[in-house]
Amino acid sequence: MSDVAAAVAGHRSLIIDPRIWFAPGIPLAKAQGAIRSYAGGVTVEQILLLVDNTVWGGCGDGMMITSEHIHAHDMLDDCRCIPIREVKTVSVVGSFAPELMINGTKFVTFNCIDIHERHNHEKLGALVMDLARLSKPDAVPSQSGGVSPGMDVRECPGCGAPREGMGACIYCLRTF
């Protein structure tokens, strides 16, 4: 098992959502839908993690991680692919339709996960940061069970809900 595969598998118990699958439990039809839509050339066996970001469950929009790349597609946007070794910064911005930012640019919007408010978008951001650290020879070991150091996740200091740069939390109405 590669270091990337081991790191992804290590996040399996932290990221729980009916629209997120880890290898080897990725449904074949979901994997094939994602490959057709935004990851041509990837084989089903290469997918370590798959996020379905579609309303109807076809996986044509979402994100996948392989041992060397992160692929993504949003409705009405171009396909995106970045080698894990090129990931330098990771942030998760927003609360209604949170965006995963890689190297300061929007990579994917998570608008169909987290209906149970488990903050999986933040956990996926932490996973991507951990993968980026693995690809750097002088990487800082990641901390399991939470948001990785250096990750720019904006949270309400009162309830911990993700927030945008507003002056009040839309969940607990606390001002800051």
Domain ranges of the chain: 3-153
Single pTM value for the model: 0.76
25-69 pLDDT, tens per residue?
A: 999 999 999 999 999 999 999 999 999 999 888 999 999 999 999
Q: Which residue has the higher pLDDT, 161 or 148?
A: 161
Q: How far apart are CA 54 and CA 147, in angstroms?
A: 25
Q: In what order do the strands lie in the sheet containing 99-102?
A: 105-109, 99-102, 90-93, 152-153
Query: In terms of C-beta distances under 8 Å and separation of at least 24 residues, what long-range contacts does 18-23 make, across chains too?
Result: 19/51, 19/52, 19/53, 19/57, 19/62, 19/112, 19/113, 20/49, 20/50, 20/51, 20/52, 20/113, 20/120, 20/124, 21/49, 21/50, 22/48, 22/49, 23/47, 23/48, 23/49
Percent of the chain with pLDDT over 70: 73
